[in-house]
Every structure is written in C-alpha cells, then in structure tokens.
Amino acid sequence: MKLSTTPAEDGFYFPAEFQPVSEVWLAWPERRDNWREDAKPAQETFANIANAISQVAKVRVAVCSGSYDRAREMLDSEVRLVDIPFNDAWMRDIGPTVVINDKGERRGISWKFNAWGGEYNGLYDNWQQDDLVAASVCDIIGIDHYQAPFVLEGGSIHTDGEGTLYTTEECLLSPGRNPHLSKSEIEALLKQYLAVEKVIWVPNGLFNDETDGHVDNLMHVIAPAKVVLSWTDDPSDPQYDLSREAEAVLKSETDAKGRAIDIVKLPLPGPLHYSENEVSGIDVSSGMNRSAGERLSASYANFLIVNNHVFLPLLDKNTDAQAVEILSAAMPNHQIIGIPSREVLLGGGNIHCITQQIPA
C-alpha cells in the first residue's frame, strides 16, 4: 500500500548496511547498449555475485520474462526469481530503500527515478519501468511504501543508522535531478524521508562516474563514525584532489552523535580503462557512450555488507590483495569475500550498485 505520510512522521528510520539483513535483491542484466556481447559476460558475473550472497542471506533476482530460463540455469536453486519488468539492472537505484522502526517493522521508499539525470544527462530515454520497480519489490515482500516527491537513487546515500547521512553535492545538486529544489530543501526532504539528523555533503564522487558522483563509489560507512574512502597517492591522477576534498570535509565534520569520523583509506585499483574489445561488443546508443581507452570509475569502496560478510569487487591483481588486507583490518568481525567483477564495472558500477539489501 502507498502511504501519504513520511517515515520521520511515522517513526521509521534508515538503518545502516552493517545492521542485520534479511534478503538482498538484484536484477538480471540484458541491455545490449550497456552490457557487452548480449550481456552474457555480465550475466555470468551477476550470477556469481547472487550465488555468493545466497550463502549468507535470501536472494531474489528480478528478471524480465524473456530471460527467465537463462537466469534460472545460471543461478543456484535457492535464489528466487521474480518476474518484474525494468529498463536496466541497477537494483540499488531502482529498488526501494527500506526503513525500519524500533518495533522491527519495515516500510519501503520509492524514490523518483529518471535514469541518472533525465533529459539533462540521463543515460537512457525510457525509464518508466525502472520507476515502478521499488513499489513492486515492496508489494512482493509484503510491506507498505512511501512515494518520495523527488529524484534520488539508492547509490547516492550512505548512513550509519544513527542519524548521519553521507552524500555528494555533485550528485544531489546535479541539474538533472531536482533543479527546482535548493540544497537546504533537499536536505529537509532527506531528513523527512530517512529520519536522519545530519547530512554530511562531500563535494564530489569518483572521477568519471556517469551517475554524477554517487557516494557509494567513493566511500562506504563500515561502522558508526567510521568510513572507508577511495584514495590515490598519485598527484597526476584526477582522483587525487577529489579524494582530498572529501577527506577535508570528513575531517572537519562530526557525525550526528558528535563523534569525529575515522577515515580508512582504500587504494584505487588501476587506473583501469575500457579495451577496444570490450567496447566493440556493446550496441551504440546516445546516452551511454563507451569508448576504448576511457577511464573506468573503478573503486573497491563499491562493496556490499551482508550479515558480517563483505562482498568486495576484485578489479586489479596489483591492488586486490591490499584492498582485502585493509578491509580485513578495518572490519575484523567481517569475512571479506572477493568476487571478480570487471563486467559490472564495464556497465558503470559495481557490487553495491547492483544489489539492494532489505533489513531484517
């Protein structure tokens, strides 16, 4: 059922990803103008990710009816398939953000979705089915939902579950999202819909991120007052200054509880770039331009936390082990599970972007 109130009015708040999770949703990739070679390499990677997560939580995968048989064949038997139409497979952004209350009840939020920028700089023209996915997921899991009156994607927000929200100005203030709203008006809406007390605005996301700098590609909240931040020590890397700007904001702020924020630096893989072969397998489209040699917006921060497990993208043999080591030290109570995920990166995101956790 669609509700006419707001979560804050009703006593519901946005929990952290490191809190208990009951299930994780993905969607099955098939767009030929985003996923190369008829999406087959991407499907293999999505299946590996879904199957790995299914060892620690229930997994459901939204699938368009024409792809059902192939998905069923590649996914483990405990992964449940659900027939939901969508335009592309970024469940973090098209699925619901689920909020909880102190009694353990859950409700979903359906944000307005416009393919990361609508007519201004959206990645495709038709996003009507994407915009209905969140409500469908809520219906299937049997929870009521709120329809937010503004454009937002799940990848653009991170929380500590204790009143602090992290986001980027680059994304939420992009002219393609809510040009009619000021920064203070957007912040007021975030407080109404996520019941947060404080919003920490980092200036920019990761270099060349076509989502206009989603926060989940730059950093991740791993505990109250503790974050990992994508980092490079190479002054010639365009990410060098962007990471330092983010660090400066995080160092100058305290969280909603007044705590200083502990920053763990996570090295960037690469730099990584599209190969000629990878680009040649994608159908040409106006919105998603993929060119050989173009810098990929690659990040180890784009991982998913599920019930004391971290599903980490493996992207570069030169830095993968270092990323695992740093996260293991920063998250000693979590098991780090690395999954090769370059095929997801080629589509413009990573493990966090293609998953949406439903809190327990």
- Cβ atoms of 53 and 24 within 8 Å: the answer is yes
Of 64, 138, 171, 353, the catalytic one is 353
List the structure tokens of 33: 């103008």
- Say which residue the tokens 């990803």 belong to: 17
Mode of pairing for the β-strands spanning 226-231 and 80-83? unpaired
Sheet of strand 145-151: strand arrangement: 2-3, 145-151, 106-112, 97-100
Helix-, strand-, coil-residue percentages of the chain, each rounded to 5: 30, 25, 45
Would you say the C-alpha torsion 340, 343, 349, 351 has a positive or negative sign? Answer: negative
Would you give the DSSP letter of residue 273? B
For the beta sheet containing 58-63, the strands, ordered from the edge strand earlier in sequence to the opposite edge, are: 80-83, 58-63, 21-27, 356-359
Q: Is 171 a catalytic residue?
A: no
**Strand blocks (E) in 84-160:** 97-100, 106-112, 145-151, 158-159
DSSP secondary-structure letter at 67?
G
Sequence-ordered strand ranges (E) for 84-196: 97-100, 106-112, 145-151, 158-159, 164-168
Name the nearest CA neighbour of 20 among 46, 58, 52, 77: 58
What residues are labeled active site?
353
